[in-house]
Amino acid sequence: MYITNTSEKVIDLFDKIDELNSTHKVRFILYVFDLLNNNQINDKNQMNPDLYEKDDLEIFNAESIGFPPDFFDVFLYFNVMVYNKLVNSTEAYLEYGNVMGIENKTIDMELASKFSKLNYNEKLDVISELIIRYDNETYFNEEISMMPFASDRSGFDIAKAIQDFKK
């Protein structure tokens, strides 16, 4: 774990992730960042936060840490391509910032459930850890060349911004 001072739940989640093959790992990263892209990472754990007043809940997104709103779209697009290469298909694609073409049954539901039960700060820890592992090329089992997040910031910089943002 690169992130320190996190909960046992987050550590346990990454222990489970470490056991997965690269195809399942990319499905999980697509799942998490698709939620992030669709404003599903919020302090009230609401599945449809757009129905609430902005003052009622805090939504985490790229703008929360000073990036453009579509910052994670490029990351998702790249990982969709990685997924398609790993499964030798073109079934997955991005449409209006949403990951499409991957059936829910192909996502590890145990991991998805564990992630959904985490509190807000724990979810931010998971996102931070995913970003660092991705950027350091330690997330996947196979050697996969990673696209950099930004020319002026590393995964550690982005994770630090997320950690600084936490409540």
Express each pLDDT in 64-100 by its tens digit: 998 888 888 888 888 888 888 888 877 776 776 677 6
d(CA 123, CA 134): 16
Q: For the ranges 21-25, 55-59, 66-70, 108-112, which has the lowest average pLDDT? A: 55-59
Query: What is the rounded average pLDDT of the residues 97-114?
Result: 74
Query: Per-residue pLDDT for 165 more than 80?
Result: yes
10: nearest Cα among 123, 113, 92 = 123
Q: How far apart are CA 45 and CA 68, in angstroms?
A: 23
Query: What pLDDT is stored for residue 146 in this prediction?
Result: 72
DSSP 93-140: EEETTEEES--GGGS-HHHHHHHHHS-HHHHHHHHHHHHHHHHTT-SS
18 pLDDT above the threshold of 90:
yes
Question: How far is the C-alpha of 11 from the C-alpha of 2, rounded, in Å?
Answer: 10
DSSP symbol at 90: -
Backbone angles phi, psi at 158, to 5 degrees: -65, -45
Beta carbons within 10 angstroms of residue 108's beta carbon: 18
CB neighbour list of residue 95: distance below 8 Å, 6 or more residues apart: none
Straight-line distance from the first to the last Cα atom of the chain, in angstroms, rounded to the nearest whole number: 21
Whether residue 105 is predicted with pLDDT greater than 60 in this model: the reply is no
